[in-house]
Structure 1
């Protein structure tokens, strides 16, 4: 507390002058005395306290005196000082990974309050906020308005991605203006070795030393038997105490519950037998721990899609195209193809289309080709999401198969067809087209394998906010993502890669009249809680200033209020005369 203009203290004589004026001014008032007997008594009463009597009857005097006193205070400019944070500007690196939800209140909520406290101490110096993740993001840059900084901090949310803290720190280093930039890292735990070799900047790590209880589901898998499904759940007790838990498996209205005991730091495999043959299951562990984001995991029982059997009678370029997809490619004689193996077959044997095995038919062994001329025209279909056929040349086609859906034509002749059970028929041979030499050919094979080996109702497993190319095609070109019936967001075909939702869970992807299921899962890194600490590292040039808070604006407000009240008192006094 201090004053920056003590030279104006002489103005304190103004209130004294007002007091003296009221003490000694003459003011005559008619006084009726009923009898001379009471005159002496009345005079003694006035002479006993003449000055006090004057003060008691003058409210304007008090208001004027108060206004003058506050004027004197304003003229000497009183203020208070507090030290600002060390440094000329600041970068806040904010960990928004799932583990920041641990604790009650959560680590993230505590860090938000800590950030606001530090921003208030910055004294108007620039603040930059960067969030972690696979792609670090600058939320605000060199912001000096405290209100905007605090509002931005309040709007920060968890994105459930792995923190990738080292990558984010490297990114933050590029934003540093000079050697006096201080980088504050808000996380739950950061190994000192990450910052050991960094020089030129000062790093302040804000971690947590508390030890929390946590039980997580690390893995959840299903194995399909002949007439039932077997599940297995891997639990990990990331605590120093034994905990009791209940494992629950659910699918629609089916529910299985198993009670388990977990020793300190124990990993436990929990088998679940005699499950109904359902494809989508969710495992949940009910336990009294401090971190619930890793207590749920979902899985989908889909057929394997990493192998393909190719008819050796087909052109070698077809096998080469599949090998470029890193698939397990097996060549087999036409007579030795096994249509009941469940592994997708690539052949020209027309009769195999009647079997249960998914087929990619290249050409036909039961018909002769005919010549065609013209451009390829395609319909909206997932097979053509990434494989453009605009520059492909085809010299001959085989006759189409009746009742199959045609999705590509040449001069109104069917080129690619889809069978009712999902088989893909390409009505040409590799030697009758230059398609195998085009970059779109392996992309088409990849989409074909996704269609044949995958489940048409399952889009796949994703990590939070994962960007991925997916085969989606609809008449409208728009897909809506829902979770438990609640709308999440939309994806427009061709607008860029498909972006998975941030929060883990089971989602429905809906387009036109088609609906698929997708599962968003936490990464393994986000299922382990690590105890950290708060520390400082680095050799940056520290600059520490003091921020001054002036009381003059508040004093001027009080003076204005007193003047308004004084005018009202004066106005009322005039009207009552």
Structure 2
């Protein structure tokens, strides 16, 4: 603790003057009264407690003296020092993925409290706050005002999408201005290997090592059988203790439930037979665990596609891949494909993209391919849920289509795209890759067929905040998104990609009399909890090792309380006279 302004020490003369005033003030003596005119007033004075009267006079003196001494102390501007955070600038990277909702209080609330506490130790140095996600977002940049920073932290909300921490940290590094900048990462868990190569930057990871119980619904599938609908629910117990609960299946009209019990780290497939016919079903798990976001999942029964038309000019491995899926494959000459309907078309003719039938374009007949090199990078698209492409080699790529969404790329060049109408484009000939040798090839074809199948009443499966090109057309050109009859957002046709809501669940997408169902569901990564640790990598220099906190605001508040107490003592003293 210290004093900032000793020049005001002369004001200590004021409390000394008050003391002298009490020493030399006029004293009153008892005076006998010969008349009975003032007898009642005299009796009141005699009956009053002399000790209370004396105490009141002394208490008033002590309060006045204390208030004056505090005024002198306030003018001297006392303060105390506290250690500051290491570094001269700070970047707060905040994990807003769904797993941060785990725990009670949630990991997200715990990290928000920790951030608010660290702000008090920044000493007025600039702070930048970055939110994780597929597209990292800067909430505030180089802000010094504590009130603005505290408000930004208070307004943080869970986005439910995968954190994409590696991508977010690369983005945060582009905001670093000097070597003394420290990046604080607020998450539930971040492995040290993710920061192994970042030796030129200082990182402070605030992980949470609290072990939690979690039972999740990983997959939920439906199929039509002769005896009605059949559901299969994959349930996983991540906890280190046995867990039991109840599995509920509902289509809005019918509900069926079954009891489940899982041993530690056990995974089960729970089949439910004899469900009534219905397109949309929701599975909900009633269990006493510490993470509820992965306890529900919805599924929609789409009309299966068992036939497909393939351009005979394509490599025979394409037809073999579809044949392995037990599909009816019809090979047609290129000039016979334009009039085909009722099934998807697999071709390299770009002019067929303007037709009514869904198209899987593999290669291009209107461009020349150029050499390509590098690893395939994919986005969080349902097409790659089961088909991983990281090990696939591609030697040549065709030029990309403009204004098409890119969902896979090689060294920054588009590899797989989605058209605004929902057609799929693979910008490579199959013979230019080793893809058919990979198990992901038939899985990709199966996912592509399901993606092209679509439905007149179902828009599709989305991940939280997913940006996707969708085939929506209405007379008004505007679509509204509702959840449980509550308005959520609007989408204007042609005004950029369709953006899915953040919170998982079942949504209605309507325009006039048209209505489509849409399902938003968590990714697999957000259904797995991890425990982390707090650690630091690197060390940064600081211009100041301590931050100064003034005691003047607290002193002023205490003076105000003393003044109120002084008035009350004075009022009571007057009343007893």
Give the TM-score of the pair, scaled to structure 2.
0.69
Distance 1:566 1:91, change over 3 A: same
> How far 1:244 moved relative to its partner?
1.6
Per-residue CA distance 1:260-316 (angstroms, 9 max, x = gap): 22121112112222222211111122222111111111111112459532698xxx8
Query: Are the counterparts in 2 of residues 447 and 471 from structure 1 also a CA contact under 8 Å?
Result: no
Query: Are the counterparts in 2 of residues 86 and 543 from structure 1 also a CA contact under 8 Å?
Result: no
Partner Cα separation in structure 2 for residue 282 and residue 480 of structure 1: 22
Structure 2 spans left out of the alignment, 5+ residues: 36-52, 324-328, 346-353, 360-400, 405-417, 425-448
Distance 1:228 1:346, change over 3 A: farther
Query: Are the counterparts in 2 of residues 87 and 541 from structure 1 also a CA contact under 8 Å?
Result: yes
Distance 1:469 1:569, change over 3 A: same
Per-residue CA distance 1:383-432 (angstroms, 9 max, x = gap): 79x9xxxxxxxxxxxxxxxxxxxxxxxxxxxxxxxxxxxxxxxxxxxxxx
Per-residue CA distance 1:516-575 (angstroms, 9 max, x = gap): 01111111111111121111112333455322223345556776898999999999x9xx
Partner Cα separation in structure 2 for residue 204 and residue 234 of structure 1: 37
Distance 1:60 1:279, change over 3 A: closer
Partner Cα separation in structure 2 for residue 570 and residue 248 of structure 1: 71
> How far 1:483 moved relative to its partner?
1.1
Query: Are the counterparts in 2 of residues 236 and 267 from structure 1 also a CA contact under 8 Å?
Result: yes
Query: Are the counterparts in 1 of residues 308 and 343 from structure 2 also a CA contact under 8 Å?
Result: no
Partner Cα separation in structure 2 for residue 305 and residue 263 of structure 1: 39
Structure 1 window deviating more from structure 2 (535-544 vs 521-530): it is 535-544
Distance 1:64 1:224, change over 3 A: closer
Query: Residue 109 of structure 1 corresponds to which residue in structure 2?
Result: 109
Distance 1:255 1:3, change over 3 A: same
Per-residue CA distance 1:94-146 (angstroms, 9 max, x = gap): 11111111111111111111111111222222221111111110111112121
Partner Cα separation in structure 1 for residue 19 and residue 110 of structure 2: 55
Query: Residue 432 of structure 2 corresponds to which residue in structure 1?
Result: none
Distance 1:62 1:173, change over 3 A: same
Per-residue CA distance 1:151-203 (angstroms, 9 max, x = gap): 21111111110111111111111112211111111111110011111123221
Distance 1:97 1:570, change over 3 A: closer
Distance 1:19 1:177, change over 3 A: same
Per-residue CA distance 1:343-366 (angstroms, 9 max, x = gap): xx9647xxxx9xxx5699xxxxxx
Select the structure of larger CA radius of gyration. Answer: 1
Partner Cα separation in structure 1 for residue 122 and residue 14 of structure 2: 40
How many residue pairs are counted as aligned between the two chains?
462
Query: Are the counterparts in 2 of residues 481 and 489 from structure 1 also a CA contact under 8 Å?
Result: yes
Give the TM-score of the pair, scaled to structure 1.
0.69
Partner Cα separation in structure 2 for residue 132 and residue 274 of structure 1: 43
Query: Residue 296 of structure 1 corresponds to which residue in structure 2?
Result: 296
> How far 1:465 moved relative to its partner?
0.5
Per-residue CA distance 1:460-490 (angstroms, 9 max, x = gap): 1111100000011111111111112111111
Query: Are the counterparts in 1 of residues 227 and 274 from structure 2 also a CA contact under 8 Å?
Result: no
Distance 1:234 1:346, change over 3 A: farther
Distance 1:303 1:544, change over 3 A: farther
Query: Residue 279 of structure 1 corresponds to which residue in structure 2?
Result: 279
Aligned counterparts, 1:454-493, within 5 A:
454-493=454-493
Matched, 1:502 2:502: yes
Partner Cα separation in structure 2 for residue 444 and residue 68 of structure 1: 76
> How far 1:502 moved relative to its partner?
0.5
